[in-house]
Amino acid sequence: MGASKLSGMQKQVLSLYRGFLRAARSRPIEDRKRIEMIVSTEFRHNSKEVDRKNFQYIEYLLRLGTKQLDQLKSPAIVSLSSIKVVTSKT
């Protein structure tokens, strides 16, 4: 059986995920583990909670993630943290 082809958006999401993991490798080991955990948790959460057909929201998350990745790559940034934002589902 052949593997299913990924859409352009799926490729962007995977590329962003890999970018975060690469950026984490440039950090000290204790920060690296925490960054990897935060990134993994956030991506898994969004993969379960976000409707795959809500392209506008996925594009928003991609832009947000790209900005966060650029910040993480900055030498001025010391670490990464996560905040839980609860939104109503209407």
Using CA atoms, how far apart are residues 70 and 65, in angstroms rounded to an integer? 9
Q: What is the pLDDT of residue 16?
A: 96
90 lies in a domain?
no
Q: What is the pLDDT of residue 90?
A: 46
Would 61 be classed as within a structural domain? yes
- Which structural domain, as residue segments, surrounds residue 63? 8-73
What pLDDT, on the 0 to 100 scale, is given for residue 77? 74
Q: Is position 19 within any domain? A: yes
pLDDT in tens, 6-17: 888 999 999 999
Contact between residue 82 and residue 37 where contact means Cβ atoms under 8 Å apart? no
Question: Within a 13 Å sphere around the CA of 88, how many CA atoms are in the beta-carbon half?
Answer: 1
The 10s digit of each residue's pLDDT in 23-82 is 999 998 988 999 999 999 999 999 999 999 999 999 999 999 999 999 989 888 766 666
Whether residue 82 lies inside any domain: the answer is no
Residue 88: inside a domain: no
Q: Is residue 41 part of a domain?
A: yes
Q: Of residues 1 and 37, which shows the higher confidence score?
A: 37
Look over the chain and give the mean of its residue pLDDT values, rounded to a whole number.
86
Predicted pLDDT at 14: 95
Query: Within 13 Å and on the Cβ side, how many CA atoms surround 63?
Result: 6
Q: Does residue 3 carry a pLDDT above 90?
A: no
Has residue 38 been placed in a domain? yes
